[in-house]
A = this chain, B = another copy of it.
Amino acid sequence: MRIAVLGVGLIGGSIGLAAKRDVEGAEVVGFGRSPERLERARALGAIDVAAGSLAEALDGAAVCFCCAPVGALADQIAAALAVAPEDCVVTDVGSTKGEVVAACSDQRFVGGHPIAGAETAGVEHARADLFEDATWYLTPAAATSGVLYERLHRLLAAIGARPVAIDADSHDRLLATVSHLPHVLANALVTQAAGALGEEGAALPRVGPSFRDATRVAGANSAIWTDIYVANREAIAAEIDALAARLGEAAALLRAADPEAITAWNERAADARRRLLEADLAGGVVHELRTTVPNRPGIVAEVALALGKAGVNIVDMALAPAPDMLAGEITLWIAGDGPAGRARELIDALGFPVVEP
């Protein structure tokens, strides 16, 4: 399988290393603006071949990863699709998905976003195990080819990632909540503290661990974050507005000085934290589920999104078209009795009866 990697930095390089380690017969072709950096990637074993042009990189490719910075992604994806073979799945690794997905309705395209290795740039930091057990969001759309989606899903699972289907807007809201908003807060907090301490005549305290933790990501790499802030501005701004309103309520709560109400508020936060941090510990026996679906566009995306939305992770999946090509069989592997049961119900509810062989 020929895999094209456009932009061979930390993420692209790690994809190359992982594919070469985990996928039999993988040949990784790299392309990028800087011949020196490409050559470095080849010397490090992250790619097998440094292509001289985009067309050469895509020639005969089964999968193409677009790894440009967020601001340059839409153009890179369009350029890749223009020269990619008919049966090549093209994906990207950008941290926001709405704009990119809205700009592209090609059946070969699936938006993607691995939750790994945000900050350190450069192929020198690439590692074959970067995606080990990492969530890798995929945003299939109605137009997305089921066969190509399956190929990408299997490749990502093979290199150790956990692909999770999600629609692009939900993805952006989710990331705004759990990643972009904490960055904005860190910026606001650290700037406010610097101002306040300045006013106190530069009497700088040994700041506590809560402050250090909350501001660790303040002023994160602008080369990455300005693009993210611009691309996901609407979702982030909405999250900021909601949080500012929530903070106004907290200020009113404190001023009212009712210890019981303050304790209840604090305990709700303790509960929320427990739920959020425990939610990720799912696992268990892997169930195999099979269902027959009509062989029409969008069907795989529909099933994947229904499960992704319900928090059911697909460990692996396989598609097999029936001989008449009018119907196909989807096999899904789901970890845990609870999630497997939910998956059965959800797929049944879509009108496709499930069997567990």
Contact = CB atoms under 8 A, between A and B. Distances in A.
A296 interface: no
B309 A214 contact: no
B259 A187 contact: no
A191 B247 CA distance: 11
A184 interface: yes
Please give the count of copies of this chain that the complex contains.
2
A318 interface: no
Contacts of A240: 247-248, 250-251, 254
A323 interface: no
B262 A229 contact: yes
A319 to B, nearest CB: 23
Contact of A226 (B162, B193, B263): B263
Contacts of A25: none
Interface in A222-247: 222, 225-227, 229-230, 233-234, 236-237, 239-244, 246-247
Contacts of A206: 115, 134-135, 162, 280
Interface in A115-149: 115, 118, 134-135
Contact of A276 (B170, B204, B222, B274): B204
B202 A210 contact: no
21 contacts: A170-B200, A173-B200, A177-B192, A181-B192, A183-B210, A186-B210, A188-B269, A191-B269, A192-B242, A194-B276, A201-B309, A202-B279, A203-B310, A205-B280, A213-B217, A215-B276, A230-B254, A230-B259, A234-B255, A237-B255, A244-B244
Interface of A: 71, 115, 118, 134-135, 162, 164, 166, 170, 173-174, 177-179, 181-194, 196-197, 200-220, 222, 225-227, 229-230, 233-234, 236-237, 239-244, 246-248, 250-252, 254-255, 257, 259, 262-263, 265-277, 279-280, 308-311
Closest 5 CB pairs between A and B?
A: A219-B270, A194-B272, A187-B269, A204-B279, A219-B269
